[in-house]
Amino acid sequence: MAVLEAWAYRKPVAMTLECNIPNAFASGAAFQIQTDVALLANGLREFLNSPPAVLQEFGNKGAAKVKESFTWDRISEEMKSVYEWMLGGGPAPSLLRYD
């Protein structure tokens, strides 16, 4: 939730793959860091030393991602599709993962 809240306020985000937010890195909405202590320290150092324009761009892209994928309207539509599928109403929604 902290990542989504930061994005909602156009704040830059450094996160790991374990945050499990699809396409955050590919869309340029987040700076990727690692969980290993030494790599985490280096990643945070690099993130914090990024130019202000780069950090602002992370925030802007994150805000766009929230508006695109994490509004209540969007989430309720996705959940509706899952419930309909569970009740036998069509193919599995693309948001489901089986890995």
Task: Dig out the tokens for 66 from the structure.
Answer: 């929230």
Q: Is residue 75 part of a domain?
A: no
Q: What is the pLDDT of residue 73?
A: 94
Q: Is the residue at 54 inside a domain?
A: yes
Domain membership of residue 34 (yes or no) is yes
Does residue 25 lie in a domain region?
yes
pLDDT of the chain, 99 residues: tens digit per residue: 999 999 999 999 999 999 988 799 999 999 999 999 999 999 999 999 999 999 999 999 999 999 998 999 999 999 999 999 999 977 889 888 776
Domain-located, residue 88: no
Domain count, the chain: 1
Q: What are phi and psi of 46, to 5 degrees?
A: -65, -45
Is residue 36 situated within a structural domain?
yes
Using alpha carbons, select from 53, 75, 52 the residue that is nearest to residue 4.
75
Which residue in 70, 28, 27 sits closest to 53, CA to CA? 28
| Structure confidence at residue 22 (pLDDT) | 74
Domain housing 29:
2-70
Say if 8 falls within a structural domain.
yes
Structure tokens belonging to residue 36? 């290993």
Structure tokens at 46: 């690099």
